[in-house]
């Protein structure tokens, strides 16, 4: 039977986490977490926080201890996630520890685990993902970046797009086409590429919020040793599906959503409503807040069920798609509520108010007009429009669920 209340051991763990956060969060690191404008925190502060977590052995909550992970239960990971967000700590970049790391642990060779995992934990290797292409986004199996066999190497040529932090990453994990068979999923290989290899070119993509987080990657006859293949050549789709379960549903959404909704409510108490009271007392706004809180609570119950199944050793499976759909839709709903609270300040472009995950193309000085939460609201709104697209669009996730249900 699934218990919905923390037991004594879990409450002790929660208190340990709170004490750690209180002792180690500097004002600069906390600001990087509280003033985020997308799902990515300020790069330098995020890496600084990762080094602090690594020193404590907490950088990779879901990894087994034999690989340097915390070895926490799914409940401990959930508690840590909730307390981290509540304390204002930024997340670490998910590309390495949350995504590529589990793929290497699950499908990599002993040599790959020994080399890459410690450097991933320390932050020496900072990772990006090379999946989507201009003609292969949600339909990822149609990717065309080719990798030709050349003895001990693969020679890679082609283009990738929407590559987060590729401009600062020194390693990337890529899906490349090594063969053509009866099904497009066959003939794909999962490959680790040193971003300093000759022939790799990165070009920026500036988001509507003015931030440079996304990029294009061009590979022109890039030579990559076959020892960097994770899994086997032509069977990278197996590794990619395994990784996507962690990207889509490996982290619970509800803890962050609850904290963000709390912050929206607190801000609404500082904003005048249409009548004599505050916006929080406005009936229409209060109804929307209540509906959002109910939806988040429903998602949390589902995540508890998924946690219970994972604790029994089961794969995230379909739950990853469900959590991705509801989590990203609720993220977007909260950005809409945030714009309502921001009011007229939401019309202004004020990137200087936040701590974005990358440099801002069009900086506007240091002064901020209005409270920080209001100035950040439109930036979060613009950034999180991508939530229902990345990691496999929500339309694709619904197709996956329909197939599983036999519809």
Residue 2 has pLDDT above 80, yes or no: no
Sign of CA dihedral 123, 324, 162, 346: negative
Report the chain's mean pLDDT, rounded to a whole number: 91
> What whole-number distance in Å separates Cα of residue 98 and Cα of residue 251?
9
CATH class of the domain comprising 251-404: mainly alpha
Q: Kindly report, residue by residue over 168-213, the tens digit of the pLDDT.
A: 999 999 999 999 998 999 999 999 999 999 999 999 999 988 999 9
Tokens representing residue 121 in the block: 């934990």
Percentage above 70 pLDDT, the chain:
95
Tell me how far apart the alpha carbons of residues 126 and 146 are, in angstroms, rounded to a whole number.
24
Whether the CB-CB separation of 166 and 202 falls below 8 Å is answered with yes
- Residues carrying CATH 2.40.110.10, the chain: 127-235
Q: What does the pLDDT look like over 233-285, one tens digit per residue?
A: 999 999 998 887 665 445 689 989 999 999 999 999 988 887 778 999 999 99
* pTM of the predicted model as reported, rounded to 2 decimal places: 0.89
Of the residues 83, 133, 245, 247, only one is catalytic, namely 247
CA distances from 227 to 74, 128, 207, 379 (A): 33, 19, 36, 42
- Asked whether 186 and 326 are in contact (CB, 8 A), the reply is no
C-alpha to C-alpha distance for 65 and 61, rounded to whole angstroms: 9
Helical spans, DSSP H, in 250-357: 254-268, 283-311, 318-342
Distance CA 128, CA 158 (A): 16
Domain 127-235 part of CATH 3.30.1180.20: no
d(CA 396, CA 231) in angstroms, rounded, equals 25
Q: CA-CA distance, 404 to 407, in Å (whole number)?
A: 8
Is residue 8 flagged as an active site residue? no
Homologous superfamily in CATH for domain 8-92 = Acyl-CoA dehydrogenase/oxidase, N-terminal domain (1.10.540.10)
Flag whether pLDDT at 4 surpasses 70.
no
Q: How far apart are CA 83 and CA 14, in angstroms?
A: 8
Residue 339 CB burial class (10 angstroms; 0-12, 13-18, ≥19): middle
Chain position carrying tokens 């108010």: 353
Which is nearest to 346 in space by CA: 378, 384, 381?
A: 378
24-60 pLDDT per residue, tens = 999 999 999 999 999 899 999 999 999 999 999 999 9
C-alpha to C-alpha distance for 201 and 282, rounded to whole angstroms:
52
Instruction: Render pLDDT for 305-356 as a digit per residue (tens, 0 to 9).
Output: 887 777 676 666 678 888 889 999 999 999 999 999 999 988 888 888 899 9
Beta-strand relationship, 146-150 and 212-225: unpaired
Return the H-helix or E-strand segment holding 403: helix 394-404
CATH 1.10.540.10-classified regions of the chain: 8-92
In angstroms, the CA 310 to CA 190 distance is: 25
**What are 229's strand-pairing partners?**
191
What stretch(es) of the chain map to CATH 1.20.140.10?
251-404
């Amino acid at each position: 039977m699934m218990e919905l209340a923390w037991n004594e051991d879990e409450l002790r763990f929660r208190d340990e986490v709170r004490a750690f956060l209180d002792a180690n969060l500097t004002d600069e690191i906390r600001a990087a977490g509280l003033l985020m404008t997308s799902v990515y925190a300020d790069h330098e502060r995020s890496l600084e926080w990762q080094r602090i977590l690594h020193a404590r052995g907490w950088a990779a909550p879901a990894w087994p201890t034999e690989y340097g992970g915390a070895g926490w239960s799914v409940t401990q990971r959930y508690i840590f996630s909730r307390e981290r967000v509540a304390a204002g700590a930024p997340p670490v970049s998910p590309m390495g520890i949350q995504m590529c790391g589990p793929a290497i642990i699950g499908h990599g060779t002993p040599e790959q685990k020994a080399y890459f995992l410690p450097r991933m934990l320390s932050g020496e290797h900072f990772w990006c993902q090379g999946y989507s292409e201009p003609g292969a986004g949600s339909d990822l199996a149609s990717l065309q970046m080719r990798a030709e066999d050349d003895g001990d190497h693969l020679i890679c040529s082609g283009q990738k797009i929407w590559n987060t932090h590729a401009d600062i990453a020194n390693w990337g994990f890529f899906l490349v086409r090594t063969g053509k068979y009866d099904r497009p999923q066959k003939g794909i290989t999962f490959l680790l590429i040193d971003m300093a290899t000759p022939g790799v070119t990165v070009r920026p993509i500036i988001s509507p919020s003015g931030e440079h987080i996304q990029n294009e990657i061009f590979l022109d006859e890039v030579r990559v040793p076959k020892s960097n293949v994770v899994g086997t050549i032509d069977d990278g789709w197996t590794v990619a599906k395994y990784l996507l379960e962690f990207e889509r549903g490996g982290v619970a959404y509800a803890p962050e959503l609850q904290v963000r909704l709390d912050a929206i409510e607190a801000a609404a108490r500082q904003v005048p409503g249409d009548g004599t009271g505050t916006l929080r007392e406005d009936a229409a706004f209060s109804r929307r807040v209540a509906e959002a809180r109910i939806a988040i609570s429903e998602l949390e119950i589902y995540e508890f069920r998924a946690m219970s199944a994972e604790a029994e050793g089961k794969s995230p499976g379909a739950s990853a798609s469900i959590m991705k759909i509801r989590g990203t839709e609720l993220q977007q709903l909260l950005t809409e509520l945030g714009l309502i609270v921001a009011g007229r300040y939401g019309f202004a472009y004020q990137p200087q108010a936040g701590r974005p995950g990358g440099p801002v193309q069009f900086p506007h000085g240091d002064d901020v007009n209005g409270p920080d939460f209001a100035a950040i609201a439109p930036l979060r709104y613009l950034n999180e429009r991508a939530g229902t697209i990345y990691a496999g669009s929500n339309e694709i996730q619904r197709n996956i669920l329909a197939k599983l249900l036999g519809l």
